[in-house]
Structure 1
């Protein structure tokens, strides 16, 4: 037991100065020790910097980026020490899920067309089979653009496309209209797609009928049936 602690325990029985005199301890040093015991512990500057950076970045920074922030302020601290500080204050980095747009929204109540490509050899001439799909493109400044495309199964060339900031039913229909206007395929063209609502819409079906085209659709949940379009 330290001398100062002994004096503190006996302070109720005798004056502090008298105890200091008996134990040959400077009273000023004893009082300074008592003040230090009563004062709250001072948090190291690097810990303050870490917690401030964690709060400033909306609790999304992990130990790697927090270390970079602390080191930028002149604090040489590693990730393990930062991890202990976060755990001591019950702080956890929040990692938001990455947003991935959905390009296929099928209606189970709609009767889909059969897959007319199953078991069939690849076409040996153009304008026999077209395959289509919708993909999304990151937009400068945030958000997404949606691209509907039709490819010739034989030549692998894009025959029609349309791009918009939403996915209305007319997105794939307009892309197909452009392809039909340029290629003028003969009757019997197989137009293959997934079971998305844009491909089962009434206007899309009417467009196929007017041009003598035949609808073909992938089986539900089977991306391999339309791999030729999805790989694009």
Structure 2
């Protein structure tokens, strides 16, 4: 399992200050064995033996960092509880996928979002659903229309282009959702459009 360099660096700094492996593992959501391996491999390069005594200042700094991490984890747990109430399992798997691509361990991401690792890997191995494929196709078309309007069209104008210009049946809510996911938004309502009419469809 891959871990981000930042997570490993934080763990090693705290271990080097003399904090027990068990405490660090609990605070960072890591396995004890992983920390033992990192300590054996990397701590000598920090200029300190794994068993060398630590200064009181180092220990105080390490314990302060542990307290901060525990507070952050507590807040994260609460956020995950709230997310579970509003996100379907499929959307949570999507969130795990994004977090994993950013370097967070799947085990940690899955635990935070209240899903299982096995469930995530099963979800990832499935082919895209017809709905996902349609949304991907619509997003690409919406992006083209938005670019052709010089970024001025909001979801209502784009919905009109899709339904009247392209003959596509789609709801306002879906267009708004896909634009939000793609990071697209229109110009303010009172800003004049540089285009005359639609003129975006073949």
- With normalisation by structure 2, the TM-score equals 0.27
Q: Which has the higher strand share?
A: 1
